[in-house]
Amino acid sequence: MADVEMKVELMRKILEQKDSDSKDLDDSTLKRFLRARDLDVEKAANFLVKHLRWRREAIPKGYISESEIQNEIAQKKMFAQGFDKIGRPVGVVFGCRHNASNRDLNEFKRFVVYIIEKLCSRMQQNQEKFTIIADLQGLGYSHCDIRAYIAALDILQNNYPERLGKCFLLHVPYLFMKAWKIVYPFIDKNTRSKIIFVEDKNMMSTLLEDIEENQLPEQYGGKLKLVPIEQS
């Protein structure tokens, strides 16, 4: 632990020389980026500097407004949903509501940032991660979007390291598995370990291992009604 604290201090000194915006970052942020680079201070500092540059360009106002992602929100595909057993906020996404043929990739990227920022804003004290339930029931060719999947992964892995706790994939169709083979090489080993393919017959029991019944959506045997992400 003391070694990590020393590395945080060293990383902060390096960052102060490279980017003035780093002075506003708390220790927990530095630790996340350190863990994402196996505690290599130089690599972590460069990683974080790159993120700060991205953030200034991608989120110039410091937040994404609903007016910037109206087409994505209108599809009603993303919901905020309670907390898991260790306090991670839960997000629920419905893959069959994504319209691949009628999406603007830049707007989609803004939507991904909006979702992650929303989930992070719901984190309870000392919690740094969120949980995703991705329901792929009804997914067809019109919903399958390789470019969007890779774009979302890029944003998550390169700008929100150590934020994903678990991702449960439900009702996975054969079509998605074909897309998975294409996307898989773009997923780093740390993220891969957090993705869980859930068998239909074990769906409720698997989800209940991590999420209490009173925090689980009604669709999966729980007691919570879904809340649109923009209303969370």
Tell me whether strands 195-197 and 164-170 are parallel, antiparallel or unpaired: parallel
Say how far residue 33 (Cα) sits from the centre of its chain.
15
pLDDT score of 136: 97
Q: Residue 112's pLDDT band (boundaries 50, 70, 90)? A: very high
- Per residue, the 3-state secondary structure of 105-170, as one string, reads HHHHHHHHHHHHHHHHHCCCCCCCCEEEEEECCCCCCCCCCHHHHHHHHHHHHHHCCCCEEEEEEE
Give dist(CA 81, CA 24) in Å, integer.
Answer: 30
pLDDT score of 210: 97
Q: The tokens of 143 are what?
A: 């919903």
Q: Residue 1's pLDDT band (boundaries 50, 70, 90)? A: low
pLDDT score of 6: 93
Is 55:65 a contact under the CB 8 Å cutoff? Answer: no
Give dist(CA 80, CA 78) in Å, integer.
Answer: 7
Cα dihedral 224, 90, 186, 75 in deg (nearest 10): 50
Q: Provide the mean pLDDT of the chain.
A: 95
156-178 tens-digit pLDDT = 999 999 999 999 999 999 999 99
Residue 44: which of 62, 22, 74 has the closest Cα?
A: 22
Is a pLDDT exceeding 90 seen at residue 128? yes
pLDDT score of 102: 87
Tell me the sheet residues that pair with 195: 167
79-92 tens-digit pLDDT = 998 999 999 999 99
18-59 tens-digit pLDDT = 988 888 899 999 999 999 999 999 999 999 999 999 999 999
pLDDT score of 5: 92
Q: Specify the DSSP class assigned to residue 211.
A: S
Q: Specify the DSSP class assigned to residue 86.
A: T
Q: Residue 2's pLDDT band (boundaries 50, 70, 90)? A: low
180-208 tens-digit pLDDT = 999 999 999 999 999 999 999 999 999 99
Is a pLDDT exceeding 80 seen at residue 124? yes
137-147 tens-digit pLDDT = 999 999 999 99
Phi, psi for residue 136 in degrees, rounded to 5: -105, 15
pLDDT score of 95: 96
pLDDT score of 132: 98
